[in-house]
Amino acid sequence: MEKKRQFFTTPIYYVNAKPHLGHAYTSIAADVATRYKQMDNQETYFLTGTDEHGDKIVQAADDQNTSPKAYADQISQLFQDLLPLLQIKNDQFIRTTDPDHIGVVTAILTKIHDSGDIYFASYEGLYCFGCERFYQERELVEGKCPDHGVAPEKIKESNYFFKMSKYQEWLIDHINTHENFIQPAQYKNEILSFLKEPLEDLCISRPKTRLTWGITLPFDPDYVTYVWFDALVNYVSALGYPDGDKFKRFWPTTRHFVAKDIIKPHGIYWPIMLKAAGLDIYEGLNVHGFWNVKGSKMSKSIGNVTDPIEVTKEFGVDPFRYFLMREMVFGLDANFTEDAIVSRINADLANDLGNLFSRILSMNTRYFEGKIMGQDAALAAQFSLEANAINAIDGFKEAMERCQFHKGLASIWAFISTMNKYIDTNEPWSLAKDPSKESALGTVLYNLVEGVRVVSCLIYPVMPATSRKMQLALGLEIPAKGFFDLDQILPWAQIKKGVSLDKPEILFPRIDIKERASNASPQKAVVKKKKSFKPALKEEISIEDFSKIDLRAATILSAEKIETSSKLLKLVVDIGAQTRQVIAGIGKSYTPQDLVGKQVIVVANLKEARIMGELSQGMVLAASHKKELILSGFEKDLLPGNPVK
């Protein structure tokens, strides 16, 4: 039988700013959905990319004194670099400046124009320059653009229009007869309610007098294509429409992941464009909400735009992916705070899953020297966790089919919690005290090991690295593709009797909340680089040159002022093999009492010198800071004479 196929996409991200948390979420959600379908033995294709034309890109490039293409190259690269850091396995990355894409946009425009669905007309309307689109009166909020809060300008232009109105009834009917076309249901209702009003035709051109950074219309060289009409076509141009093999394989079994702010282009323009061009309509849209950060929508002016790379560096990729998928109810808004991610990591990951896993393997090591005892047939039914595992798998599958990632994970965690209770109820430590209960103990541990095997398979789409780590610790032979299919998870009792397992490493270290509170937020430490000192660097030297300098840890044994100078101190220092007298100009920054017992770094092989008549046999290292000298030292006490390299 031919495999089922599924094509997943993220929106192509607009390159007017670098990637933030919201982009990371959409991409991870699409990656999780793709990995899940692969576990369901389907053939998948996963596309992401960047949208690079339009006014805003020209402006952003101008601000940086560069060309639109150079600017787009730079930001697009940031989006590409982010993918491996988030463990996202896309099959393709498309850019709307790719020549192939431009060719397909041109072909589709020609097709729709030839069929008579594009016409030329003069139009006067309210235009928001921020949104790059005309608004209808009724879409405005108190006369202002709902996104930008500014009143749109009245402008008059001759432009090309796409007859969307002609397809309005068809689209309403299509949505009503295809249950999963727009998920979750609140967004389907939003689109249907919008379609109750007459649909206006879409202006799909921009005169080159106003904008040149775009794809030239094939039927009028004085105009470029409206950026949305260009961008949406990426979903088929990437597959090699019209003759490409990928197009034949994967279109239209397509689910587009989008955030709620772009459902109109995806839920209205795009299906109508496809219909008008004679293409099949995609299978569906999966619409998610926004991530608010500390209670507000992310915005540059509030300064709460969250960089996914920083979060990943701090908490790890798998915990970050888990948090995003577990915390957000797909379709609704969610709140991102450090407290929320820390508490998910500590409670769900370190405590519930991590502890369970290490407890089970540790007990198996303690009671059976790591050897799997297998279950006693007579006791198997009494101690079985199989029914709970089946429930977890069913609940997971049902939720994942509908992109309810949070529910899918909740189903796994309900099973984890059952296993934790099972340990408390069956008290393996008590069974271990009674030699006649050895087979009961073996059976209990066997069921637990089987339970975490099931968990290790189910968490794969969300936490691929942790899944692998657990499976290696359980001695499983991981299939070459890197995961077990859904239909390989059962039957129960796959781990072989007699296998030896090691004590596991810790899956998720707990995050110490107090320690975090006492440190400044590392995110800020990275972002807010302090003013720095920028004198020109000295000429480079070789390692051989450097190694000629004999630097030593030295302990100051005594210190006294030199009466004839306001800043010189006479120090006696212990450098291990010898004591030395060193004259140091640190008298304005330190009193002699400050110094006795302190450890410093001394240049031990500096030629002797006389300073103000006093012998100086070395030099103490210090940095000058606002008219003070700050001595160098060590984080720990060392033995005097310890070399410094």
> Is the peptide bond between 252 and the residue preceding it cis, with omega within 30 degrees of 0?
yes
Q: Compute CA distances 72 → 13, 24, 78, 235, 238, whole Å.
A: 11, 19, 10, 19, 18
Known catalytic residue at 406 = no
Q: Compute CA distances 559 → 36, 112, 268, 548, 614, whole Å.
A: 70, 90, 82, 28, 14
Q: How many CB atoms lie within 10 A of CB 142?
A: 7
Known catalytic residue at 297 = yes
Strands (E), 539-603: 551-561, 569-574, 579-584, 599-603
Strands (E), 307-462: 334-336
Between CA 45 and CA 235 the distance in angstroms is 11
CA neighbor of 25 nearest in space, from 313, 330, 345, 407? 330
Here the tokens at position 109 are 């425009």
Closest CB 150 distance from Zn ion, rounded Å: 7
Known catalytic residue at 53 = no
Are the beta carbons of 321 and 24 closer than 8 angstroms?
no
Known catalytic residue at 20 = yes
Closest CB 227 distance from Zn ion, rounded Å: 13
Q: Compute CA distances 272 → 47, 106, 142, 462, 601, whole Å.
A: 22, 17, 30, 34, 74
Between CA 150 and CA 522 the distance in angstroms is 37
Between CA 362 and CA 368 the distance in angstroms is 10
CA neighbor of 402 nearest in space, from 114, 179, 232? 179
Q: How many CB atoms lie within 10 A of CB 95?
A: 20
Nearer to Zn ion, 147 or 485 (CB): 147
Helices (H), 115-244: 168-177, 185-194, 227-232, 234-237
Between CA 221 and CA 172 the distance in angstroms is 35
Q: Which residues pair with 195 in a beta bridge?
A: none
Strands (E), 76-117: 92-95
For residue 99, which amino acid is it?
A: P
Between CA 162 and CA 107 the distance in angstroms is 15
- Determine which one of 89, 111, 131, 469 is catalytic: 131
Are the beta carbons of 41 and 5 closer than 8 angstroms?
no
- Binding residues for Zn ion, rule: CB under 5 A, are 128, 130-131, 145, 147-148
Known catalytic residue at 275 = no
Kindly state the DSSP code that residue 364 receives in the 8-state scheme: H
Nearer to Zn ion, 131 or 309 (CB): 131
**What does residue 255 show for φ and ψ, rounded to 5 degrees?**
-120, 125
**Which helix (H) or strand (E) is 361 found in, with range?**
helix 356-368
Known catalytic residue at 178 = no
**What does residue 385 show for φ and ψ, rounded to 5 degrees?**
-110, 10
- Determine which one of 4, 248, 294, 297 is catalytic: 297
Nearer to Zn ion, 147 or 173 (CB): 147
Are the beta carbons of 15 and 76 closer than 8 angstroms?
yes
Strands (E), 466-576: 551-561, 569-574
- Determine which one of 53, 56, 128, 570 is catalytic: 128
Question: Where in the sequence numbering do the catalytic residues fall?
Answer: 20, 23, 128, 131, 145, 148, 297, 300
